[in-house]
Amino acid sequence: MDRFEEIRAARRELDAVVQEIQALPGFEDFLPEPTQEDVHRAAVEQPLVYLSAAEHGGVALIVHDDVTAVDLPDLTAEAVRTRTRDHDQAHRAYGADRAGRLSHWERSLESTTKWLWDDMMGPVCEALREHRRVTLVAGGLLGLLPLHAAWTEDRAAPTGRRYVLDNLVISYVPNARSLTSARALAAAVDPVKRLAVIVDPPGKDERAVLHSAEQEARTAAASFGARATVLRGSAANATAVRHALTDVDVVHFACHGQADLLSPLDSRLLLAGEDVLSLRDLMALRLKLRLAVLSACESYLPGTVLPDEVVSLPSGLLQAGVAGIVAGMWSLPDAPTALLMVDFYRRWRTEGQHPATALRDAQIWLRDVPSGERVAFLQQALDAGAPWLPHDEETEGLMLMLEYQEEDRRAFDDLHSWAGFGYFGA
């Protein structure tokens, strides 16, 4: 089979997946072709940026008051395929050997995100220099890459680099209609009152324990007080989780997940015992959620061969009735994930920031603040009894770990630690 036939076959597979989803009751409008009116309506609040690679170079179309084209001559389809597959293979090798392959994975992230700036996001940022928030529609395999973490050298920055998210608050969507629908849903689920947390349920297999899961659960629950439902252990079974999701505004999954980009409806979150919750199950629930936090390994990257086009778990959740999704884009280390979630919920729930802004600012805080300053800030919050930071053994353990770090060191400034979450939707 020649390359063109492979591309055509991949497109047919994607079309078949979309048709399967559209056959579900209530999902007849899943990923429809947007009209020009749809695109301009979605771009009123902030620019909508379409990113696409082609055989002889790519283009960014910036839609706001008008339409601006940014030529990206080095963004070829072959370059994107090669980079994405290398990125995926490095991540899978790291997943199989966390200690032995960490440095290889970190080098891959450095190389991939530098390439993203040079060949795509640098020119896009220059064209968007008058804006602070944008929504990206990343076509094809570009949708699997951490575009918000693209970087260039900057001696004035604390880390010696300037990243896309230093310039822009980034949200990802699959198309204009999904953004418009997500905004309407976000407005309908306001104010946000109720939360469900699913905490690392024990499975039958030999999955690694998510050590940050309990800290995440307590942090998320603290920000909702008595209106938080936490499902742990055997209580986090499929029946209980389905029931909980019908009676809340926000869900936080601190558990394992598996993305299946070749069969997106089978992408799933792993629950107690052998129970799973697939995208197919979630769509059947007719959700109405302001936010879903997927702090789950492999909730984004696939565990199989990459197709040429993708329908990711976050984009599926947008269609299933979730207005916004915070999703892990690779397997994430425990301590920085716990800290990121502490600061994310503080900014969102206590300071009232938009969740996309809260995530971006929490990532910058995790990346740039020296360890001693971070410990002092958290200790002051504990001493003051701040409700967003639970005073329990989990937080004490986290503080003890932080106190062993050098005070003037930025312990989590590597991409692997801080850049692994993306925001999707409104």
239 by Cβ neighbours in 10 Å (0-12 / 13-18 / 19+) ranks as: exposed
User: What are the structural domains, with CATH classification, of the chain?
Assistant: 3-176 (3.30.420)
Please say whether the beta carbons of 270 and 299 come within 8 A: no
DSSP H/E element including 169? strand 169-172
Range from 126-135, 139-148, 289-298, 410-419 carrying the lowest mean pLDDT: 289-298
- Between CA 84 and CA 113 the distance in angstroms is 11
Q: What is the pLDDT of residues 166-197, one digit of tens each?
A: 999 999 998 888 889 999 999 999 899 999 99
- Between CA 325 and CA 147 the distance in angstroms is 16
Which pTM does this prediction carry? 0.88
SS3 307: coil
Q: Which pairing describes strands 48-52 and 58-63: parallel, antiparallel, or unpaired?
A: antiparallel
pLDDT for 391 equals 84
Q: What is the pLDDT of residues 29-69, one digit of tens each?
A: 555 566 667 676 766 789 999 999 988 889 999 988 888 89
Work out the percent of the chain whose per-residue pLDDT is above 70: 84
